[in-house]
Structure 1
Amino acid sequence: MVNAKPYHINQRYAYMGFMFIDPEYRGQGVIQNIIETLKNWAKTKHVVEARLLVYHDNLGAIRAYEKSGFKKHTLEIKLEFE
């Protein structure tokens, strides 16, 4: 669980770090099972929100997360200096 910034609606949320599913196991519901387990655990802690980060061009992961109910929320942008 993470404490949210003061401007967020929910003060605590579950956070999912970067995950990797071996290509051999993709499309078999692994992400959905992980997310369902996280949701069940979070509910026992009275947490009602989960967040994660995903690279914008990782379309397969984005589809998997959206299939589990995640919605795009913010956009992080960066500038690299040479």
Structure 2
Amino acid sequence: MDAQNRELIRKLNKYFISEQKMIREMKATDLNDIVEMQFELQEYFSEIDRTRDSLPYKSIEDARQYMQKMIDDANNMDGKIFVAEEKDQIIGFIQGVIIEHRKGADIFYDLMHNPSKEGWVGLLFVKSEYRGSGTGKQLLDEIKNYFISKNCTSIRLLVLSDNKHAVAVYEKNGFIRHDLEMILKV
């Protein structure tokens, strides 16, 4: 096999995780599926959030509006949205953006941090019946590779502390706990 064929196979393997599942960039035709998953995700957040600050969406249109903001953020902040697809069905997605901290842009940041270029994971969702199949890891790997290609120095995310499953997934994939936000309801 020549070098050109090996390179083609390497590129195909990057996107085809198995014969049936692939990770790819989101297309406009994926929006309805992703909106439904976001609706489900927010419902889950509202159930597990001990503070009761997370509310379920009142309608699917609320989820659509939220996802449009996430799409706009990805477009405006050098980000991406990737989907996991199996048998022509969207089974998960991840959204990430890039935030660059340049010296002189924020005096308070400059006083306490080195300049950096960070990838931020805004959303990660895998349908419940596909959790534990490695889909979350594959989506994280895809966004991580994208951030690396953009010379990011770190990847950050926020996760609801009550979302024990998500915390475990992130830690299993190399993320460490860094900041701890606490709340007192008054």
Interval of TM-score (by shorter of Structure 1 and Structure 2): 0.7 to 0.9
Q: Secondary structure at the match of 2:118?
A: strand
Higher RCO (CA < 8 A, seq sep 6+): 1
Matches within 5 A, 1:11-30: 11-30=116-135
Q: How many angstroms apart in 1 are the aligned matches of 2:171 and 2:115?
A: 20
The match for 1:2 among 92, 95, 99 is 99
* Aligned pairs, number: 81
- 2:149 is the alignment partner of 1:44: yes
Structure 2 counterpart of 1:14, which letter?
A: G
The one-letter code sitting in structure 1 at the alignment partner of 2:172 is K
Q: 2:166 aligns with which of 54, 61, 66?
A: 61
Q: Any conservation in 2 of the 1:18–1:54 contact (CA below 8 Å)?
A: no
Identity of matched residues, %: 33
Partner-residue secondary structure (3-state), 2:177: coil
Q: Secondary structure at the match of 1:16?
A: strand
TM-score where L is the length of structure 2 = 0.40
Higher helix share: 2
Q: CA contact under 8 A between 1:2 and 1:13: conserved in structure 2?
A: yes
Secondary structure of the equivalent of 1:74?
Answer: coil
* Cα-Cα RMSD: 1.7
Instruction: Provide structure 2 residue ranges, at least 5 long, that are not aligned to the other structure.
Output: 1-97, 102-108
Over alpha carbons, which structure has the higher Rg? 2
**In 2, distance between residues paired with 1:72 and 1:63?**
11
> Higher strand fraction: Structure 1 or Structure 2?
2
> Is it true that 1:77 corresponds to 2:157 in the alignment?
no
The normalised TM-score by structure 1 is 0.83
Does the 8 A contact of 1:16 with 1:50 survive in 2? yes
One-letter identity of the residue aligned with 1:15: W
